[in-house]
Structure 1
Amino acid sequence: MTEIKVPELAESITEGTIAQWLKQVGDQVEQGEAVLELETDKVNIEVNSEHSGVLQEQMKQPGDTVEVGEVVAMLGEGSADSAAPKAEEAPAAPKEETAKPAEEKPAAKEDTEATSSEKPVASPAARKRARELGIDLNEVQSRDPLGRVRTEDVERQAASKNQPKPAAKEASAPKAQQPTNPDKPVERIPMSRRRQTIAKHLVEAQHTAAMLTTFNEVDLTKVMDLRKRRKQSFQDKHDVRLGFMSFFTKAVVGALKEFPMLNAEIQGNEILKKQYYDIGIAVAATEGLVVPVVRNADRLSFAQIEREINTLAGKAKDNTLQLKDLQGGSFTITNGGVFGSLVSTPILNAPQVGILGMHTIQRRPVVVDDQDTVEVRPMMYIALSYDHRIVDGSTAVQFLVTIKNMLEDPEQLLLEG
């Protein structure tokens, strides 16, 4: 028998949740073939078998939390065809043979005969747990479509046997579980591991950092004019659409170079100032918000940035992001405007100390300073949330003004970004 263990995942990931088994007991498994899918804090990972054989036992079920190095399954030798009958017939023969000579113990004989006549199909782990709890496998109701008894079925049977004992509590139990109004139905949905992690990190960021948000607005007239004039030639040349994210990414990089404290993080009593510009781009995925990272954004052209963002967004949509796509990052940009958000206060992506929030573009009347007239312009509110522990308010305001100035004069992006 060969053990299948949870492999090393990443430095920051020590455990995961079994999302689903890709192989069932009795299935043939080839070396390198995926056996189960593991949901971690950041991405889903397939656990592959290092050997070939037949899956003999699943020691954990979907929804169970497992740690790195923990044994989750047992792999046996042989083929699936030869292993299937052995798994069912091997335990039955000894029980039928031992039932006959045990005449001096009538009670044991009756139990053994009953078991052999109606022998349930159960995993070795379930049988062991049933013996420990004193549970008769014939009384256990299985939820498996094929009728196989699993460890969780045994646990459920044991719990149901223990519940009826205190009569007073049993009588009051329905009252405790009945605040739900039948006319107002509700649905209980367990939080996924990723959703739990997102919630935990966001709360920790608010509890740990001295978070503050400052706002400004940007006149995107020149950016939109530039996109309108160049978008077709840009797409023809680079085979990628010219969007807004490359402009904002370039503007953020230029502002970070001028105000490096927003490209830092706190480690104990020290400030770690980063000399690179890995910009995280928040993406709404099915399982929850993820922040893939555009590496070395300062060295990329507009086309390269747009292409990288499109690739990462596609991976997020298809749930194929890898850990390396999400790790690191020195600053984050989030665009709530794609969903219609007019203004918001983004939460820091710890341990980063700055995050820029983009919002929807609205055509609003504004006063044109150099002409002293009112014109309708495409305006966007932008928000910068920052950690006030190492970023002063004046620095944050100037950082945001720098981004505003670059976007209102896009030619600066070629020089400053």
Structure 2
Amino acid sequence: MNEIKVPELAESITEGTIAEWLVKQGDKVEKGDPVVELETDKVNVEVNSEYSGVITEIIQVEGDDVEVGDVIAKIDENAEAGSVNTESAQGQADAKEEKQTEASPKQDIKEEAKKDFKEETQTSVDVIASPAARKRARELGIDLSKVSPRDPLGRIRPEDVEDAAKGTAKSSEQKEEKKPIEKIEFDKPVERIKMSRRRQTIAKRLVEVQQEAAMLTTFNEVDLTNVMKLRSERKEKFIEKHGVKLGFMSFFTKAVVGALKDFPLLNAEIQGNEIVMKKFYDIGIAVSTEDGLVVPVVRDADRLDFAGVEKEIGNLGKKARDKKLEMSDLQGGSFTITNGGTFGSMLSTPILNAPQVGILGMHNIQKRAVVMPDDSIEVRPMMYLALSYDHRIVDGKEAVQFLVRVKQLLEDPYDLLLEG
């Protein structure tokens, strides 16, 4: 009898929720077949069987929270399909419902032990650590919540675990303890919905950014007359040649890359007392999905032409909506663009996507009366732009000039398109 366990998922991901079992108890599977889908903080991950055989027991049912190393099912390499009692899996699910109202003493003991275990490991689950660090911590019997990372982003590395083992790391017990959340009862009808793991992570990260970064937002507006004219002139030939539409996002992505080259601090990040200047342009494009906001990354956007940018954004957007994004699609961006205008937003202050120090917010296009240089008044398609930045390393002057440069490139887009 072999066990199916939750594998090492990715750096900083140590737990997930059983989203869907892809097999049933009694099913025969081959080695490498996907058996269960896990919902993690960032992406959904399929877990494959490491053995060929018959699923004899499903231990964790849909909706259960599991951690790396947890046994979620058992598989018998010698059993035959159909020889396993398939009623026990449903019985487990039914028992979960029943235990909330009429749990037996044995179930109470089991549930209490599970609760104690979760309480003991909760702090370890919340820390961010590399797989190598987690492995070393298990070998040394170190509680990761007691390890003080050197990395300013809070990521624990193997050397931090070694320090903790020698007693040189600072105890994380000095951190302020979280107060228990009090449930408020209402006199009128309400519905309580458990937050998805991804939504919980989004909430946590956004609060952390506002607490840790000196975030400030500056605004400008851009006249999109020439962008819209250029798109109208080139759209048919562009589709015929490249098989993809010439959209707004490619113009904004290329304009951002051009401005980042002129103002490189917006393409940097802070690590300790050092500023890391990134010499690459991996632009995150915020995508809204049913499960929350994700930010897949267009790699080396400076090396792509307009068609390449449009194709990559289209592919990443489709993967996000189909829940097919991989960790590699989300990691390592240097700057982010978010487009609230697709939902009708006129103005907003976007929150930084840490550890990045800059994010550009696009908004709705509105026709407005504009006073031209010769004092004539024309109706122009205008958009407000918002740049949020980390004031710790980016001064107001540089942020304003960056946004002005983006505006200039968009208002004279012909050279931008020709130069790629």
My pick for the range that moved more, 372-381 or 295-304, is: 372-381
1:400 maps to a residue whose letter is L
Q: CA deviation at 1:82?
A: 2.6
Contact 1:122 1:149 in 2 (8 A): no
- Return the offset for 1:122: 5.0
The alpha carbon displacement at 1:58 in A equals 2.2
CA distance in 2, matches of 1:201, 1:177: 23
SS at match of 1:319: coil
The change in CA–CA distance for 1:288 and 1:214 in structure 2 (over 3 A counts) is same
Task: Determine whether 1:83 maps to 2:84.
Answer: yes
Report SS of the residue matched to 1:232: helix
**Is 1:242 matched up with 2:246?**
yes
1:228 corresponds to: 232
* Residue 383 in structure 1 maps to residue 386 in structure 2: yes
Q: Map 1:266-305 to 2 at 5 A.
A: 266-305=270-309
Summarize deviations over 1:338-374 as a string: whole Å, max 9, x none: 11100000000111100000001111011111x2211
CA distance in 1 between partners of 2:214 and 2:249 (Å): 28
Matched, 1:158 2:103: yes
1:203 and 2:207 are equivalent in the alignment: yes
Alpha-carbon distance change, 335 to 309 in structure 1, aligned in 2, over 3 angstroms: same
Distance 1:177 1:253 in 2: 47
Alpha-carbon separation, structure 2, partners of 1:334 and 1:43: 19
Give the CA deviation at 1:80: 2.2
Matched with 2:350 is 346
Residue 223 of structure 2 corresponds to 219
CA drift of 1:151 comes to: 6.3
Give the CA deviation at 1:205: 0.7
Choose the corresponding residue for 1:405, options 405, 408, 411: 408
Partner SS, residue 304 of structure 1: helix
Aligned CA distance change for structure 1 residues 377 and 66 (closer, same or farther; 3 Å): same
Task: Name the residue aligned to 1:395.
Answer: 398
Q: Is the 8 A contact 1:15 1:68 kept in 2?
A: yes
Aligned-partner Cα distance in 2 for 1:149–1:28: 24
Q: 1:53 — aligned with what?
A: 53
Q: Which moved more, 1:291-300 or 1:15-24?
A: 15-24
CA contact (8 A) 1:254 1:416 kept: no
Structure 1 residues 300-329: Cα deviation after superposition (integer angstroms, max 9, x where no partner) = 000110111111111111111111111110
Question: For the Cα contact (< 8 Å) 2:340–2:364, is it kept in 1?
Answer: yes
1:208-264 CA deviation, whole Å, 9 max, x = no partner? 100000000001111111111111111111111001000000000000001110001
User: Does the C-alpha gap of structure 1 residues 56 and 151 become closer, same or farther in structure 2, counting only changes over 3 Å?
Assistant: farther
Query: 8 Å contact 1:19–1:38 — kept in the other structure?
Result: yes
Per-residue deviation, residues 68-122 of structure 1 (Å, max 9, x unmatched): 22222111131122333xx8xxxxxxxxxxxxxxxxxxxxxxxxxxxxxxxxx75
Q: In 1, Cα distance between the equivalents of 2:67 and 2:15?
A: 4
Distance 2:93 2:371 in 1: 74
Q: Distance in 1 between matches of 2:294 and 2:394?
A: 25
- Are residues 325 and 179 of structure 1, via their aligned partners in 2, closer, same or farther at CA, if it must alter by over 3 Å? closer
CA shift digits 1:137-196 (9 cap, x unpaired)? xxxxxxx4x68764674575338998xxxxxxxxxxxxx999444xx4321111000010
Instruction: State the alpha-carbon separation in 1 of the partners of residues 75 and 332 from structure 2.
Output: 37
Q: Which residue pairs with 1:24 in the alignment?
A: 24
Distance 1:177 1:361 in 2: 42
Which amino acid counterpart does residue 253 of structure 1 have in structure 2? V
From the CA coordinates, give the structure whose radius of gyration is larger.
1
Q: TM-score, normalised by structure 2?
A: 0.77
Partner in structure 2 of residue 8 of structure 1: 8
Q: Quick one: distance in 1 between partners of 2:3 and 2:42?
A: 26
Q: CA deviation at 1:414?
A: 4.6
What secondary structure sits across from 2:386 in the alignment?
Answer: strand
1:316 to 315, 320, 327: 320
**Structure 1 counterpart of 2:329, which letter?**
D
> Pairwise mapping of residues 60-209 of structure 1 onto structure 2 (< 5 A)?
60-76=60-76, 77-84=78-85, 122=88, 144=90, 150=95, 153-154=98-99, 157-158=102-103, 179-181=185-187, 184-209=188-213
Report the count of equivalent residues.
Answer: 345
Q: Distance in 2 between matches of 1:205 and 1:320?
A: 27
- Shift of the 406–3 alpha-carbon distance from structure 1 to 2, 3 Å rule, reads same
- TM-score calculated relative to the size of structure 1: 0.78
Q: Which position in structure 2 is the counterpart of 1:109? A: none
Q: How far apart, in 1, do the equivalents of 2:298 and 2:271 lie? A: 23
SS in 2 for 1:4: strand
1:329-344 equivalence runs, <5 A? 329-344=333-348
Shift of 1:14: 1.5
The 8 Å contact of residues 267 and 278 in structure 2, kept in 1 or not, is answered as yes
In 2, distance between residues paired with 1:251 and 1:73? 51
For structure 2, which runs of at least 5 residues remain unmatched after alignment? 109-181
Aligned equivalents of 1:333 and 1:33: distance in 2? 37
* Alpha-carbon separation, structure 2, partners of 1:35 and 1:42: 20
Q: CA RMSD in A?
A: 2.3
Deviation at 1:29, TM superposition (A): 2.2
| Segment of structure 1 superposing worse, 51-60 or 1-10 | 51-60
